[in-house]
Copies of this chain bind each other. A is one copy, B any other.
Amino acid sequence: MRFTSERLLDGAFLEREFVLGEIPGILWTPGSASAPVFAPLPLPLILLSPPPLGLRQMYPRLVARARQAAADGFATATIELPGSGQRPRLPGTEQAVTDLRRALAAGEAVGDEIIDALVLPLVDRAVPEWQEALDALLCLPETGGPVGYSGGVISIGVRLAVVEPRIAAAVLFAGSYVPRAMFEEARRVTIPLHVLLQWDDEGNDRQAALNLFDAFGSKEKTLHANTGGHTGVPQFAGEAAARFFTRHLR
Protein backbone atom coordinates (compact mmCIF):
# COMPACT_ATOMS: atom_id res chain seq x y z
CA MET A 1 0.00 0.00 0.00
CA ARG A 2 1.46 3.30 -1.12
CA PHE A 3 -0.03 6.74 -0.47
CA THR A 4 -0.03 8.99 -3.53
CA SER A 5 -1.71 12.18 -2.29
CA GLU A 6 -2.96 13.81 0.88
CA ARG A 7 -5.29 16.72 1.56
CA LEU A 8 -7.26 18.11 4.48
CA LEU A 9 -11.04 18.48 3.98
CA ASP A 10 -13.17 21.01 5.91
CA GLY A 11 -10.09 21.51 8.11
CA ALA A 12 -11.41 18.44 9.93
CA PHE A 13 -10.57 15.19 8.20
CA LEU A 14 -7.78 13.85 6.05
CA GLU A 15 -8.20 12.30 2.60
CA ARG A 16 -5.35 10.14 1.34
CA GLU A 17 -5.35 8.42 -2.04
CA PHE A 18 -3.39 5.20 -2.23
CA VAL A 19 -2.59 2.32 -4.55
CA LEU A 20 -2.61 -1.28 -3.45
CA GLY A 21 -0.72 -3.01 -6.25
CA GLU A 22 -2.75 -1.91 -9.27
CA ILE A 23 -5.88 -1.00 -7.26
CA PRO A 24 -6.57 2.65 -6.47
CA GLY A 25 -8.22 3.54 -3.20
CA ILE A 26 -8.95 6.35 -0.74
CA LEU A 27 -8.58 6.49 3.04
CA TRP A 28 -10.34 9.11 5.15
CA THR A 29 -9.43 9.70 8.81
CA PRO A 30 -10.78 12.29 11.23
CA GLY A 31 -8.35 14.95 12.41
CA SER A 32 -4.92 16.12 11.18
CA ALA A 33 -1.69 17.53 12.62
CA SER A 34 -3.40 20.91 13.01
CA ALA A 35 -6.81 19.47 14.02
CA PRO A 36 -6.04 16.45 16.18
CA VAL A 37 -8.35 13.49 16.56
CA PHE A 38 -10.28 13.40 19.80
CA ALA A 39 -11.19 9.72 19.43
CA PRO A 40 -8.66 7.26 20.86
CA LEU A 41 -6.42 5.53 18.26
CA PRO A 42 -6.66 3.10 16.60
CA LEU A 43 -9.97 4.15 15.05
CA PRO A 44 -12.67 1.69 14.09
CA LEU A 45 -12.77 1.35 10.31
CA ILE A 46 -15.69 1.27 7.89
CA LEU A 47 -15.11 -0.14 4.41
CA LEU A 48 -17.17 1.92 1.95
CA SER A 49 -17.85 -0.40 -0.96
CA PRO A 50 -18.89 1.58 -4.03
CA PRO A 51 -21.34 0.50 -6.73
CA PRO A 52 -19.51 -0.61 -9.91
CA LEU A 53 -19.58 2.86 -11.49
CA GLY A 54 -16.02 3.95 -10.73
CA LEU A 55 -14.66 5.84 -7.73
CA ARG A 56 -14.46 9.10 -9.69
CA GLN A 57 -18.18 9.09 -10.46
CA MET A 58 -19.12 7.94 -6.95
CA TYR A 59 -16.73 10.36 -5.17
CA PRO A 60 -19.34 12.95 -4.05
CA ARG A 61 -21.49 10.33 -2.32
CA LEU A 62 -18.50 8.48 -0.85
CA VAL A 63 -16.92 11.61 0.61
CA ALA A 64 -20.27 12.64 2.12
CA ARG A 65 -20.41 9.33 3.96
CA ALA A 66 -16.73 9.63 4.93
CA ARG A 67 -17.45 13.10 6.38
CA GLN A 68 -20.32 11.75 8.52
CA ALA A 69 -18.20 8.79 9.64
CA ALA A 70 -15.25 11.04 10.52
CA ALA A 71 -17.57 13.17 12.66
CA ASP A 72 -18.61 9.95 14.41
CA GLY A 73 -14.94 9.04 15.05
CA PHE A 74 -14.51 6.41 12.31
CA ALA A 75 -11.88 5.94 9.63
CA THR A 76 -13.32 4.98 6.23
CA ALA A 77 -11.71 3.48 3.15
CA THR A 78 -12.73 2.52 -0.36
CA ILE A 79 -11.08 0.77 -3.30
CA GLU A 80 -11.94 0.65 -7.00
CA LEU A 81 -13.86 -2.52 -7.86
CA PRO A 82 -12.42 -4.90 -10.46
CA GLY A 83 -13.74 -3.87 -13.90
CA SER A 84 -14.63 -0.33 -12.74
CA GLY A 85 -13.01 3.06 -13.36
CA GLN A 86 -9.64 2.72 -15.14
CA ARG A 87 -9.28 -0.96 -14.18
CA PRO A 88 -9.43 -3.60 -16.95
CA ARG A 89 -12.88 -4.99 -17.71
CA LEU A 90 -13.67 -8.41 -16.20
CA PRO A 91 -13.56 -11.25 -18.75
CA GLY A 92 -17.06 -12.43 -19.68
CA THR A 93 -19.00 -9.66 -17.99
CA GLU A 94 -19.18 -7.53 -21.16
CA GLN A 95 -21.25 -10.28 -22.80
CA ALA A 96 -23.44 -10.39 -19.68
CA VAL A 97 -23.96 -6.61 -19.81
CA THR A 98 -24.97 -6.92 -23.49
CA ASP A 99 -27.42 -9.71 -22.63
CA LEU A 100 -28.80 -7.67 -19.71
CA ARG A 101 -29.39 -4.60 -21.91
CA ARG A 102 -31.07 -6.75 -24.56
CA ALA A 103 -33.39 -8.34 -21.98
CA LEU A 104 -34.29 -4.95 -20.43
CA ALA A 105 -34.87 -3.36 -23.86
CA ALA A 106 -37.14 -6.28 -24.81
CA GLY A 107 -39.05 -5.91 -21.53
CA GLU A 108 -38.11 -9.48 -20.59
CA ALA A 109 -37.38 -10.76 -17.10
CA VAL A 110 -33.62 -10.85 -16.48
CA GLY A 111 -32.70 -14.56 -16.41
CA ASP A 112 -30.67 -16.21 -13.69
CA GLU A 113 -27.90 -17.05 -16.18
CA ILE A 114 -27.42 -13.35 -16.97
CA ILE A 115 -27.40 -12.40 -13.28
CA ASP A 116 -24.89 -15.15 -12.47
CA ALA A 117 -22.59 -14.12 -15.32
CA LEU A 118 -22.84 -10.46 -14.36
CA VAL A 119 -22.36 -10.67 -10.59
CA LEU A 120 -20.49 -13.86 -9.62
CA PRO A 121 -17.17 -13.06 -11.38
CA LEU A 122 -17.25 -9.62 -9.74
CA VAL A 123 -17.83 -11.15 -6.28
CA ASP A 124 -15.11 -13.76 -6.82
CA ARG A 125 -12.56 -11.08 -7.73
CA ALA A 126 -13.64 -8.26 -5.41
CA VAL A 127 -13.83 -10.12 -2.10
CA PRO A 128 -10.13 -11.18 -1.94
CA GLU A 129 -9.18 -7.62 -2.93
CA TRP A 130 -11.20 -6.17 -0.04
CA GLN A 131 -9.49 -8.65 2.29
CA GLU A 132 -6.08 -7.60 0.95
CA ALA A 133 -7.02 -3.95 1.46
CA LEU A 134 -8.13 -4.78 4.99
CA ASP A 135 -4.78 -6.44 5.74
CA ALA A 136 -2.96 -3.29 4.63
CA LEU A 137 -5.33 -0.82 6.29
CA LEU A 138 -5.18 -2.56 9.66
CA CYS A 139 -1.36 -2.26 9.63
CA LEU A 140 -1.65 1.54 9.76
CA PRO A 141 -1.32 3.06 13.24
CA GLU A 142 -4.53 5.08 12.78
CA THR A 143 -6.88 2.19 12.08
CA GLY A 144 -7.81 -0.89 14.03
CA GLY A 145 -10.79 -3.08 14.69
CA PRO A 146 -13.68 -3.45 14.87
CA VAL A 147 -14.39 -3.21 11.16
CA GLY A 148 -17.70 -2.40 9.47
CA TYR A 149 -18.67 -2.88 5.86
CA SER A 150 -21.01 -0.53 4.01
CA GLY A 151 -21.97 -0.90 0.40
CA GLY A 152 -22.54 -1.23 -2.60
CA VAL A 153 -23.00 -4.46 -4.53
CA ILE A 154 -24.95 -6.51 -1.98
CA SER A 155 -23.51 -9.87 -3.06
CA ILE A 156 -19.97 -8.66 -2.31
CA GLY A 157 -21.13 -7.71 1.18
CA VAL A 158 -22.79 -11.09 1.70
CA ARG A 159 -19.67 -13.05 0.67
CA LEU A 160 -17.38 -10.81 2.76
CA ALA A 161 -19.62 -11.22 5.80
CA VAL A 162 -19.33 -14.99 5.42
CA VAL A 163 -15.58 -15.33 4.76
CA GLU A 164 -14.03 -12.39 6.62
CA PRO A 165 -14.21 -12.72 10.42
CA ARG A 166 -12.77 -9.25 11.00
CA ILE A 167 -16.02 -7.69 9.74
CA ALA A 168 -18.17 -7.13 12.82
CA ALA A 169 -21.26 -5.46 11.33
CA ALA A 170 -22.53 -4.50 7.89
CA VAL A 171 -24.87 -2.03 6.24
CA LEU A 172 -26.05 -3.58 2.98
CA PHE A 173 -27.89 -1.80 0.16
CA ALA A 174 -30.46 -4.12 -1.43
CA GLY A 175 -30.39 -2.54 -4.86
CA SER A 176 -28.62 -4.96 -7.22
CA TYR A 177 -29.28 -8.31 -8.87
CA VAL A 178 -28.74 -11.28 -6.55
CA PRO A 179 -27.44 -14.58 -8.01
CA ARG A 180 -29.28 -17.68 -6.78
CA ALA A 181 -26.15 -18.97 -5.03
CA MET A 182 -26.05 -15.93 -2.74
CA PHE A 183 -29.27 -16.94 -0.95
CA GLU A 184 -27.45 -20.01 0.39
CA GLU A 185 -24.45 -17.91 1.42
CA ALA A 186 -26.81 -15.46 3.13
CA ARG A 187 -27.91 -18.20 5.53
CA ARG A 188 -24.32 -18.42 6.80
CA VAL A 189 -24.12 -14.71 7.68
CA THR A 190 -24.28 -14.23 11.46
CA ILE A 191 -23.05 -10.65 12.06
CA PRO A 192 -25.52 -7.81 12.82
CA LEU A 193 -26.96 -6.44 9.58
CA HIS A 194 -28.70 -3.21 8.66
CA VAL A 195 -30.28 -3.57 5.21
CA LEU A 196 -31.47 -0.59 3.17
CA LEU A 197 -34.15 -1.08 0.52
CA GLN A 198 -35.57 1.61 -1.75
CA TRP A 199 -39.19 0.53 -2.13
CA ASP A 200 -39.69 2.12 -5.58
CA ASP A 201 -36.32 1.15 -7.11
CA GLU A 202 -37.53 0.18 -10.59
CA GLY A 203 -34.33 -1.59 -11.62
CA ASN A 204 -34.43 -3.76 -8.49
CA ASP A 205 -36.31 -6.99 -7.76
CA ARG A 206 -38.05 -6.07 -4.49
CA GLN A 207 -39.21 -9.60 -3.76
CA ALA A 208 -35.65 -10.94 -4.23
CA ALA A 209 -34.44 -8.31 -1.76
CA LEU A 210 -37.07 -9.38 0.80
CA ASN A 211 -36.17 -13.05 0.24
CA LEU A 212 -32.49 -12.28 0.78
CA PHE A 213 -33.29 -10.40 4.01
CA ASP A 214 -35.32 -13.39 5.12
CA ALA A 215 -32.43 -15.75 4.33
CA PHE A 216 -29.79 -13.99 6.44
CA GLY A 217 -28.82 -16.11 9.44
CA SER A 218 -28.02 -13.13 11.66
CA LYS A 219 -29.72 -12.95 15.03
CA GLU A 220 -29.85 -9.16 14.70
CA LYS A 221 -30.98 -7.98 11.29
CA THR A 222 -32.98 -4.87 10.45
CA LEU A 223 -34.58 -3.87 7.18
CA HIS A 224 -35.14 -0.17 6.55
CA ALA A 225 -37.37 0.27 3.51
CA ASN A 226 -38.15 3.77 2.31
CA THR A 227 -40.16 5.33 -0.48
CA GLY A 228 -38.14 6.53 -3.46
CA GLY A 229 -35.98 5.26 -6.29
CA HIS A 230 -32.50 3.72 -6.41
CA THR A 231 -30.58 6.92 -5.61
CA GLY A 232 -33.23 8.48 -3.35
CA VAL A 233 -32.17 7.13 0.06
CA PRO A 234 -33.50 9.78 2.47
CA GLN A 235 -31.10 11.61 4.74
CA PHE A 236 -32.70 10.18 7.90
CA ALA A 237 -32.04 6.66 6.55
CA GLY A 238 -28.34 7.49 6.15
CA GLU A 239 -28.32 8.80 9.72
CA ALA A 240 -29.96 5.60 10.98
CA ALA A 241 -27.25 3.55 9.23
CA ALA A 242 -24.59 5.71 10.89
CA ARG A 243 -26.19 5.06 14.30
CA PHE A 244 -26.11 1.31 13.56
CA PHE A 245 -22.32 1.51 13.15
CA THR A 246 -21.93 3.64 16.27
CA ARG A 247 -23.90 1.00 18.19
CA HIS A 248 -21.79 -1.90 16.93
CA LEU A 249 -18.28 -0.56 16.33
CA ARG A 250 -17.66 1.79 19.25
- Which positions 190-224 of chain A face chain B at CB distance < 8 Å? 199, 210, 213-214, 218-224
Q: Are A227 and B236 in contact (CB under 8 A)?
A: no
Residues of B within 8 A of A53 (CB): none
Residues of B within 8 A of A226 (CB): 220-223
**Known A199-B214, A210-B210; contact A222-B237, beta-carbon cutoff 8 A:** yes
Residues of B within 8 A of A219 (CB): 227
Majority DSSP secondary structure for residues of A touching B: mixed
Q: Contact mask A158-200 → B, CB, 8 Å, 1/0?
A: 0000000000000000000000000000000000000000010
Number of copies: 2
Residues of B within 8 A of A210 (CB): 210
Q: How far is the CA of A219 from the CA of B220 in the complex (A)?
A: 29
How many residues of A are counted as interface, with CB atoms below 8 angstroms from the partner's CB atoms? 20
A64 → B minimal CB distance (Å): 20
Q: Are B227 and A221 in contact (CB under 8 A)?
A: yes
Q: Are B223 and A224 in contact (CB under 8 A)?
A: yes
A187 → B minimal CB distance (Å): 14
A197 → B minimal CB distance (Å): 8
Q: Which of B218, B220, B225, B237 contacts A234 (CB 8 A)?
A: B220
Residue of B nearest to A210 (CB): B210
A196 → B minimal CB distance (Å): 11
Residues of B within 8 A of A237 (CB): 222
Q: Are B247 and A236 in contact (CB under 8 A)?
A: yes
Residue of B nearest to A247 (CB): B236
Q: Contact residues of A with B, CB < 8 Å?
A: 199, 210, 213-214, 218-227, 234, 236-237, 240, 243, 247
Q: State the 5 A-B residue pairs at the shortest beta-carbon distance, nearest first.
A: A223-B225, A222-B226, A221-B227, A224-B224, A220-B227
